[in-house]
Amino acid sequence: MVDSGSQEFRAGEVVEGRYELAESIGKGGMAQVWRAADRETGLDVAVKFLRPDSEDLRQLDTLARQEELDVLRARFRRETMLLGRLDHPGIPELYGHGSHRGMPYMAMRHVPGVNLHKFLGEHGPLTLTVAAAVAAQVADALACAHTLPVVHRDLKPQNIMISDDGVAVLIDFGIAKPLGMGVTQYTRHGSTLGSRGYQAPEQILEKEPTTRTDVYCFGCVCYELFVGRPPFVADGTKGMVEQHLHDDPLPLAVHAAGIPGSLDDLVLRMLAKAPERRPTVEEVREVLAALTPRPGDPEPRPRLKRDPTAPFRLPRERPIRRQPPAPSPSAPAAHDEWLDARAVEKLCDEAQREIHDGDPDHAVRRLEGLAERARDEWGSRRPLVRRVWELTAEGLRLAGECGPAARFYESIASELVHGDGPEERACRAVLRLRAAECRLAFGEIEEAIAAVEAAGHVAAGLPASLAARVEEVRREVDLDVTERLAGPES
């Protein structure tokens, strides 16, 4: 049991002999963040701790409090995992993680600057170019997260930092969620995830989120960026929740002059009530990119202390990420001249156990990193190569990392399954169904329907045992398609 009253940290305290705490720079409902000095690198870092002493937890009885802490710890571990996978200048990279005084922590890049809420308060209505520069950077970071895909679920001005050098950084992946089959739900006691005023209708109704959920929340942020106010404001007749569920926002041009028609149309589509009517974040990024400044353009007037146009006007080479994850002791090292087949077999056995236990982790990550090298060294016909790729695909799918998993499944089907006998046809059908299942997380429903239909035709021409194998997976994917086509309840 955790003593919820013993977690007050102090300036000068050193976390695991490395991170010396300097000052508290933020405290939310379930976490607190300190600026710290990394004794190994000399860099300032942000160290985030889970808070077991929040008011919400104090109000629960002992058993319920411990259950909530278990959920929060699991969500904290997930946030740590996600940050370790996301590689983008607009997302803080993970430097380290562990436990300090019984509470989990993570150390990440410190972003000196102000959040977007404060930035808007300091500068009032932004010019079109400055607002577009902020929005385009956030869209690019969000697109990176969606490639896994991961849904942030809490996009709001307070979770977007404008750094001292003008970079917009998306922070706080505390309630972010990977999408896909087998992903555990970590829902707080009696809560609806997201922030008031920036929740998508499906969040308010407690429906399953998709990447289009983030698009809606981002649409609320963009509306505020370009016109200086959110799309909906509570009044005496109707609250914000009702407006988000039932009302259409006014065009941006009603509130601000000089709004391009393409931008007005984009933001209104982002705020569509039905997720399938919203654009993808890639479409959002494309429209916004046309509005950003170009290299060599003049700086904004009046001058800004933190200038979001600077990354576009004065582009700089991105620094190399620090501290890549250490290899597993049982895995072949990256600098080995040739892969050791016995070590790879052992790593495959470890990955198989992780997948069987429902917790794909380090071994699956190492296989992912070795997959292409194994194919290049040993060729596409060696059974061990196919085993590496299949375990990697399955592990990533179960971890909710649908984008990479789909690519592995598709590559196995096209490159590693040879011949056209009944066994090979069945394998390809199953692999393509799994790839389609992963692509559903990106809203690719028509492609999944086509894969289900194609698998049905394949199964009809197979021996009974092989047909049953294909049909089992086909029914799973078909059910997922049906549920998505049904959409949110009215």
Catalytically annotated residues? 154
Sheet of 160-163: strand order equals 113-115, 160-163, 168-170
Instruction: Kindly state the tokens that stand for 231.
Output: 């799309």
The terminus-to-terminus CA distance of the chain in angstroms comes to 43
Please give the Cα distance from 240 to 232 (Å, whole number). 6
Please give the Cα distance from 378 to 219 (Å, whole number). 48
Instruction: Kindly state the tokens that stand for 416.
Output: 């590693």
Instruction: Kindly state the tokens that stand for 245.
Output: 């569920």
Question: 106 in helix, strand or coil?
Answer: strand
Instruction: Kindly state the tokens that stand for 153.
Output: 């679920």
**H helix runs in 147-294, sequence order:** 201-204, 211-227, 240-246, 261-270, 281-289
Closest CA to 408 of 369, 352, 457: 369
Q: Which contacts of 445-448 are long-range, i.e. CB under 8 A and separated by 24 or more positions?
A: 445/481, 445/484, 445/485, 448/477, 448/480, 448/481
Q: Between the CA of residue 383 and those of 90, 350, 390, what are the distances in Å?
A: 40, 17, 11
Q: Which residues line the annotated binding site?
A: 48
Please give the Cα distance from 307 to 213 (Å, whole number). 29
CB 120 within 8 A of CB 224: yes
* 3-state class percentages of the chain: helix first, strand second, coil last, to nearest 5: 50, 10, 40
Q: Between the CA of residue 87 and those of 50, 92, 142, what are the distances in Å?
A: 23, 8, 11
Q: Which contacts of 422-428 are long-range, i.e. CB under 8 A and separated by 24 or more positions?
A: 422/462, 422/463, 422/466, 423/466, 425/458, 425/461, 425/462, 425/466, 426/458, 426/459, 426/462, 426/466, 426/467, 426/469, 426/470, 428/458
Give the DSSP letter string of 166-209: S-EEE---TT-EEBSTTPPP---TT--SS-TTS--HHHHTTPPP
Instruction: Identify the helix (H) or strand (E) that includes residue 15.
Output: strand 14-15
CB 313 within 8 A of CB 294: yes
Classify strands 103-109 and 177-178 as parallel, antiparallel or unpaired: unpaired
Q: Which residues line the annotated binding site for ATP?
A: 48
